[in-house]
Structure 1
């Protein structure tokens, strides 16, 4: 039996069950796409791309399409804790609608403080109703860290003055799955940077339930929607690494897929921002790029309709998808050199551990050696 046969059978059963349920939103996805000028062809291309992004064979592309169409059976509660709303912005800020944004809109969004029209008591009633009506069925997405000092008093939300700790514990209790959207919700983020007076923590440190961590400041919209799609398709969490991040999104180092990787191997480095090397697209390691130590799909998925990402735009990766990056990755414009390798799991990443172990010890030496070799060759040519 093909290793994907059981997964396909699970997917079919799951989607048939969802299709048999009454939709929570009456507008069909097809109608929404037509209203926004998105063709069926574009939708199917998106389905194939999403299947590939999720590390599924192309035979799952029709299943992705079907899952998107029945997404309006899934209630979603999205909480804002100690954060800047940048993760929501990553998903919804688009000059033209994309299939990703349409899928997010198609899901029955029961509560989202930034997007919903309700406020005050009405907003509280909406949340309470959703928690009761869809108990055990809803997806819970959390954006932002949870301050825990003084029993959570550093974050109070809503007209009833509930603390973030109270809200997350109540909402997590009845959730079918929990997704920490962004590094703040996943690992505490900048709110948890030393000395962390509010004792801000990631969601998984506050509740005792499985959590999917979407590291990134912010994560790409593809990682957010892809995780939602995986749950809709299979009714379970995707395979995770040791930090509870989906392997399909965080299974490779930024360094491995960077468009400047060839420059690194050739020993061509930007020495200072604005120099000729920077203009020629040289590697940004010497000006602080943390790509060799960071796991994310930024180089392949990019941001803003797949337009760009920080390294392509001219600044090094700051390692924002890694735990405690604000402290462990600083200074953001100086190389780390040698460091302990911790952001790895077993299986395929074990190979990367060996490679990265050598890289972490020798990356600075590589930069020096290649520059020395180039200078020697230049001197020989001049002689």
Structure 2
């Protein structure tokens, strides 16, 4: 395909110029760890008239996953539904209701056996044969089983669908479970979060449409392009962590100045997600919990969100902070008191440049301390 021809560049796809469309597809390719050149292949797949059918099921959920998708701007929800995929069934977005809506799901299964993508948000209750969630006279468990067996691939959207989420939180009276625990033998990807970022779903769908397979997944079935890094690694408050500047209560001086929220229970050090780099709502920087001054809840990490009390200290995972920190409170001359091996302004940079070898060495020397930094000064106690 030629992208430098003037006629080619002036073509429009869904109201967007071809040049801008390919540019968007190239950005999506890079976000998934693919070369920029893959953008052209993605663009080709997207404009293919054979749009993949999608059936979206909702069970024990709050509709937050769908609401998050509605706020995506590139593409918008109407571009997604009308141009990229064929959304054959969704309770939340359907114009039809009752028997007419259920007929649409049944007809799509019949006409697209082994070809459609199944997206599920919400957990599935299993106690007493699943009677705690019923739609059109059928339990969620029945609907899932009769739909999933004919799907080409399955996407568990949100933490509830991925591993139970809030519905499966103790004491879990309905014995709710995530989709991976109930469905086997099918390509399945989990996209946890409460709600997850809509672009993690859109990127996964684009990858599948283009390459007819799911992207590379981690051990929990999450796409690596979105869940391979800890939130803590890319957090905008990370320099404050490295320098030892922690808010200790909401509204204190350091909290108002944007200091690290670790001591308020931030779960960023043990939660894998791309929240700091791909934020919500396309409204600019700061549109995620930590950006607004609230600790990360760990909603995207199994065993953290909905399992660990909000304000307990996170366990530092796969990361060891510098041996020494700047004091949180500078002396009268403005020079941090007690500053030792690292300059406060460059502590994070030094750690980043030191590489894995340095971090491994520091980790061995601090195996006993699993609850964060401790420099031995009053600015770094855990209280």
Same fold (TM over 0.5): yes
Offset, 1:98: 3.0
Is the counterpart of residue 129 in structure 1 residue 124 in structure 2?
no
The 3-state SS of whatever aligns with 1:178 is strand
The 3-state SS of whatever aligns with 2:201 is helix
Answer 1 or 2: higher relative contact order, Cα 8 Å, separation at least 6.
1
Is the counterpart of residue 88 in structure 1 residue 69 in structure 2?
no
> Where do residues 69-80 of structure 1 align in structure 2 (5 Å cutoff)?
69-70=47-48, 73-80=51-58
Name the CA shift for 1:43/1:360 in 2 (closer, same or farther; >3 Å): farther
Cα distance in structure 2, aligned partners of 1:264 and 1:39: 44
The 3-state SS of whatever aligns with 1:271 is coil
Match of 2:292 among 298, 309, 313: 313
Q: Map Cα deviations across residues 345-364 of structure 1 (whole Å, 9 max, x no partner).
A: xxxxx99x969976885363
Other-structure match for 2:22: 44
Name the CA shift for 1:290/1:166 in 2 (closer, same or farther; >3 Å): same
Match of 1:140 among 114, 118, 124: 118
Q: Map Cα deviations across residues 146-172 of structure 1 (whole Å, 9 max, x no partner).
A: 1000011111012xx100010111111
Contact 2:13-2:21 at 8 Å conserved across structures? no
Match of 2:188 among 211, 226, 234: 211
Other-structure match for 2:175: 199
Other-structure match for 1:296: 273
Other-structure match for 1:224: 201
Cα distance in structure 2, aligned partners of 1:184 and 1:105: 27
Provide the aligned C-alpha RMSD in A: 2.8
Contact 1:72-1:108 at 8 Å conserved across structures? no
Other-structure match for 1:33: 14
Offset, 1:304: 0.4
Name the CA shift for 1:116/1:197 in 2 (closer, same or farther; >3 Å): same
Offset, 1:294: 0.4
> Where do residues 302-341 of structure 1 align in structure 2 (5 Å cutoff)?
302-305=279-282, 307=284, 308-328=287-307, 330-337=308-315
> Where do residues 77-116 of structure 1 align in structure 2 (5 Å cutoff)?
77-93=55-71, 97-101=73-77, 102-106=79-83, 107-116=85-94
Contact 1:46-1:99 at 8 Å conserved across structures? no
Instruction: Indicate the structure with greater helix content.
Output: 1
> Which moves more between the two structures, 121-130 or 302-311?
302-311
Structure 1 unaligned spans of 5+: 1-11, 13-29, 342-349, 376-383
Contact 2:270-2:315 at 8 Å conserved across structures? no
Contact 1:111-1:126 at 8 Å conserved across structures? yes
The 3-state SS of whatever aligns with 1:212 is strand
Find the structure with the greater CA-based Rg. 2
Match of 1:120 among 98, 106, 109: 98
Cα distance in structure 1, aligned partners of 2:368 and 2:143: 44
Offset, 1:284: 0.5
Offset, 1:104: 4.2
Other-structure match for 1:174: 150
